[in-house]
Copies of this chain bind each other. A is one copy, B any other.
Amino acid sequence: MTPEPRRDESEFLAKYDPRDYDPVAVTVDVVALTIRDGALHVLLVRRGNAPYEGMWALPGGFVQAGGPLQGTDAEDLPDAAVRELAEETGLSAKGGALGRVHLEQLGTYGSPGRDPRMRVISVAYLAFAPELPDPEAGGDAADAAWAPVDALGLAESGDQRPGTTRRLAFDHARILSDGLERARGKLEYTPLAAAFCGGEFTIPELRSVYEAVWGEELHAGNFHRKVLSVPGFVESTGATSDRGGRRGGPRPRLYRAGDARLLHPALLRPSREEEIR
């Protein structure tokens, strides 16, 4: 349901007064993931203002609500996420590198007190990006960078002891942790690992995406056969990469993303026994 302040629209608008409501702010935060040097990285910005001034945080900001009339300046939530991403990376949203980015809603975080200034409801988005250039700080960020996820000392999924996840502003460590777990799961049953690669990629490159996100080494031979056996996961370009592996080996063939939206059968992570109970 939705607010019931007045009986109908015209009467409502005539008597409209924002002070009738407890004020709430709605923001969008983005967990933008990419692979750099074979390791999973997340886009962070350093805060230029209080609170948490000087700390690293997820990129994000206000949603343009557009006032009660919700005119053309009213902004949809995914658009706000793309805008924040573009502002922080300095890349253009349409057509450019951001056009290849996968974006999905992650969850909404609205506990009282998560922002000391006022009640803030934050809608978090999760983005998978191919390798992008170093970001340039924009807006109210003092700095921006791709940070290796492993170096952040995050708690593992399921481990929610307080104190283990306190290196980011607000509850952003928790949001990032949720985003990472979502990403791990998504690679199992969707072909979204290809969103971390460019337009063309090799099977070993795809495997390194899985290894970076899952934090586990995979058997090269079995992975290769599995990827090719799932209908619609990848399709061959017919071409061959111009270089072999870093320390030797034949030149791998090139593929692009196929037309599947779901992997069937799925590519399940090995050894998840601990997570089951």
Contacts and interface: CB of A to CB of B under 8 A. Distances in A.
A59 B50 CA distance: 38
Contacts of A140: 1, 4
A170 B123 CA distance: 20
A240 interface: no
A80 to B, nearest CB: 9
A120 B23 contact: no
How many copies altogether? 2
Interface in A20-72: 21-27, 29, 45, 47, 49-51, 57-68, 70
A-B residue pairs, 5 tightest by C-beta: A74-B112, A22-B65, A1-B60, A18-B23, A8-B50
A107 B105 CA distance: 7
Nearest to A275: B262
Given A5-B117, A68-B117, A232-B276, 11 more contacts: A1-B58, A3-B62, A8-B51, A9-B117, A18-B19, A21-B25, A23-B23, A26-B26, A70-B112, A70-B119, A110-B123
A271 B262 CA distance: 13
Contacts of A169: 1
A25 B2 contact: yes
A146 to B, nearest CB: 17
A60 B2 contact: yes
A101 to B, nearest CB: 19
A123 B26 CA distance: 12
A264 interface: yes
Interface string A99-119: 000000101101111011111
Nearest to A13: B117
B232 A3 contact: no
Contacts of A260: 276-277
Contacts of A262: 272, 275-276
A108 B105 contact: yes
28 contacts: A1-B58, A2-B27, A7-B49, A8-B50, A9-B51, A9-B116, A12-B117, A18-B18, A21-B23, A23-B23, A23-B68, A24-B65, A26-B26, A26-B121, A66-B119, A67-B119, A68-B119, A70-B113, A74-B113, A76-B110, A76-B111, A77-B111, A105-B107, A107-B108, A110-B123, A232-B277, A261-B275, A264-B272
A122 interface: yes
